[in-house]
Structure 1
């Protein structure tokens, strides 16, 4: 069973604020898979999740370290922010020895790589694309790309899978 929600954001501030709302809805054991092209706002969204969770920042793209853990400042779950772009398969994710049960795990580029759990959330971010886009193989900080690109609306398709999300993510 899955529940689909659609959100439109007009700028990076709105993306961040939506992330804050998501962060407030998340708890230890939750997995969020983020998908979208470079510059879509995945890291901006994750920064908001971190703020909503009350974790120590700054939340930055984990491109070069694969995963960053941000401990809670308010006694809640830590945020584990994963960039799975350079990982070949799910076994490499397992090698990272992430605390899926005791943390909120947000995995950019994690579709198909992070093992499916009883419940998880998938967020697909779409943005207008044009001839000047950066190629997917370039290592560009997602949040910086969002800030430098023309401010264009994004559409987020959020699908909650499993019993944890049977009433929706922000319901």
Structure 2
């Protein structure tokens, strides 16, 4: 019997930051040790908010914050589950540099922000999640850049693309999120 093909990419509309957090909590229920999630999106898109929700759903210890200055932060489980490793690959330039962080990919659930294109030789399966912010006036930079709020509570479009054999057997992803789901 041949495994099913990977589910087709799913596009979700996430209405606000609270729904992004809840999406992360829900996603945690589908993840297990060895899973890799790659998050892509502009500053303020909601990558860390989604990861905070994952942390809550996985019941990990410690506040999930952006690991920008430490590159990777490990959050141990409080319920004997796998740890959550949260990586910010923005300052990394290759899969070799990601591998040099010496992350236990097999024993952890790993979330890599800005990691698209850095998975050569790391794994053959991952979830690619792209978060898009609205285009137009909401992205306009105010005259005083100090007033720029990158975390505006506005809708986001999330595209989930399962890649590789780990996700071939998974069911379909939801097609909508938020109050109407």
Same fold (TM over 0.5): yes
Instruction: Show the counterpart of 1:2.
Output: 6
Does residue 49 in structure 1 map to residue 54 in structure 2?
yes
Do the aligned residues in 2 keep the contact of 1:22 with 1:170 (CA within 8 Å)?
Answer: no
Aligned residues between the structures:
158
1:131 to 140, 165, 168: 140
Instruction: Show the counterpart of 1:163.
Output: 165
Q: Tell me the alpha carbon deviations over residues 39-94 of structure 1, each in whole angstroms, 9 at most, x when there is no partner.
A: 00000000001111111120000000000000000010000000000012111111
Give the CA deviation at 1:163. 2.2
Q: Indicate the structure (1 or 2) with the bigger Cα radius of gyration.
A: 2
1:19 to 3, 21, 24: 24
1:120 to 101, 115, 126: 126
Does residue 33 in structure 1 map to residue 32 in structure 2?
no
In structure 2, distance between residues paired with 1:13 and 1:43: 12
Do the aligned residues in 2 keep the contact of 1:5 with 1:157 (CA within 8 Å)?
Answer: yes
In structure 2, distance between residues paired with 1:61 and 1:161: 25
Instruction: Show the counterpart of 2:178.
Output: none
Instruction: Show the counterpart of 1:79.
Output: 84
Q: Tell me the alpha carbon deviations over residues 116-159 of structure 1, each in whole angstroms, 9 at most, x when there is no partner.
A: 522210000001142228xxxxxxxxxx832xx2x210010001
Unpaired stretches in structure 1, ≥5 consecutive residues: 134-143
Unpaired stretches in structure 2, ≥5 consecutive residues: 143-148, 175-181
Do the aligned residues in 2 keep the contact of 1:62 with 1:83 (CA within 8 Å)?
Answer: yes
TM-score (norm 1): 0.86
Give the CA deviation at 1:11. 0.6
The Cα RMSD (Å) is: 1.7
TM-score (norm 2): 0.82
Give the CA deviation at 1:114. 3.0
In structure 2, distance between residues paired with 1:123 and 1:89: 19
